[in-house]
Amino acid sequence: MRHPVLLLAVLSLFISAPVYAGHHEAGESGAKSAATETNGGSKGEGTHSQGRSAPARNGESSPTPVGSAMPAKSMKEFLKQPQAATYQAPETFKVRFETTKGDFVIQVTRAWAPNGVDRFYNLTRLGYWDDVAFFRVIDGFMIQFGIHGDPSVMRHWKQANFIDDPVTQSNSRGYLSFAKTSQPNSRTTQLFINLGDNSRLDKGGFAPFAQVIQGMDIVDQIYKVGEGAPSGPGPSQRRIQLSGNDYLKKNFPKIDYINRAWFTE
């Protein structure tokens, strides 16, 4: 017989909601849901080291570098333009996440889930992950993140859906997938890291696109805030979207954050 808490988490995955995953509040969905995003499909290649120019699109010369190398005002403006986040990702690349618990590195493989990888690549090159909270962390299950801490940025991504990918890998420990609702093509910016064998999620359309290759011990230390409100003691996704990190820091001071993330060799 399945553990009742785990069964609830699995079932809540398929409760439909307009946008984001993880809870049963109005406007949100249950335990393992996802966000929505737009498909990144323009052609272009480029280097991945921090501070280097972003890849060109459609034969154009490389634009001004984005991310932490950009002035804060310019970076914020780029972050509010999901319609411009259309660079095609390299076939494989690595990203280092610096968090409040330490660093971990993931390896991304475009062939696993091309649309998901393109979205992740564009978010990373824009510096989207800076100060983003791990807002839903369930021991032995998963770590969810991806709601931007600045509501003025998040409102531009809430409906920036992108097209689903076929599931080619399994949601095994250390693999990353985009969260989604029960609706097709509902992914946006939310991701989760599997903390255990969650292969039961494969048939739900959760397509892994990357794997933690270094620092899984750090991932395991991320603060277990639990399931989100109202089903559990954790934060409300709706309130994060409305009030950002101010809400989290006031009400959930132990939550861990991504300080920054960058492409690495």
Residue 8 lies in a domain: no
Q: What is the mean pLDDT of residues 101-128?
A: 98
What is the rounded average pLDDT for all residues in the chain? 80
Res 73: pLDDT: 54
Residue 178 lies in a domain: yes
Res 72: pLDDT: 54
Lowest average pLDDT, out of 15-19, 198-202, 241-245, goes to: 15-19
pLDDT of 123 higher than 70: yes
CB atoms under 10 Å from CB of 254, counted, come to: 8
pLDDT of 230 higher than 50: yes
Residue 241 lies in a domain: yes
Residue 30 lies in a domain: no
Res 28: pLDDT: 33
The 3-state secondary structure of the chain, one letter per residue:
CCCHHHHHHHHHCCCCCCCECCCCCCCECCCCCCCCCCCCCECCCCCCCCCCCCCCCCCCCCCCCCCCCCCHHHHHHHHCCHHHCCECCCCEEEEEEEECCEEEEEEEEHHHCHHHHHHHHHHHHCCCCCCEEEEEEECCCEEEECCCCCHHHHHHHCCCCECCCCCCCCCCCCEEEECCCCCCCCECCCEEEECCCCHHHHHHCCCEEEEEEECHHHHHHCCCCECECCCCCECCHHHHHHHHHHHHHHHCCCCCEEEEEEEEC
Residue 7 lies in a domain: no
Q: What is the mean pLDDT of residues 131-144?
A: 98
CATH assignment at residue 195: 2.40.100.10
Residue 215 lies in a domain: yes
Res 71: pLDDT: 52
CA distances from 234 to 46, 138, 148 (A): 39, 10, 17
| Residue entry with tokens 């954050």 | 257
Q: Tens digit of pLDDT for each residue in 54-113?
A: 333 333 333 333 334 445 556 778 899 999 999 999 999 999 999 999 999 999 999 999
Lowest average pLDDT, out of 21-35, 145-159, 164-178, goes to: 21-35
pLDDT of 181 higher than 60: yes
> Which residue in 130, 145, 164, 182 sits closest to 37, CA to CA?
164
Q: Count structural domains, the chain.
A: 1
Residue 87 lies in a domain: yes
Q: Tens digit of pLDDT for each residue in 2-46?
A: 443 333 343 334 322 323 333 323 233 333 433 222 233 332 323
Residue 159 lies in a domain: yes
Lowest average pLDDT, out of 60-64, 185-189, 198-202, 231-235, goes to: 60-64
The residues, any chain, with a CB within 8 Å of residue 60's CB and separated by 6 or more, are none
Q: What is the mean pLDDT of residues 240-253?
A: 98
As a whole number of angstroms, the distance between CA 35 and CA 159 comes to 8
Domain that holds residue 256: 36-264
Q: What is the mean pLDDT of residues 114-138?
A: 97
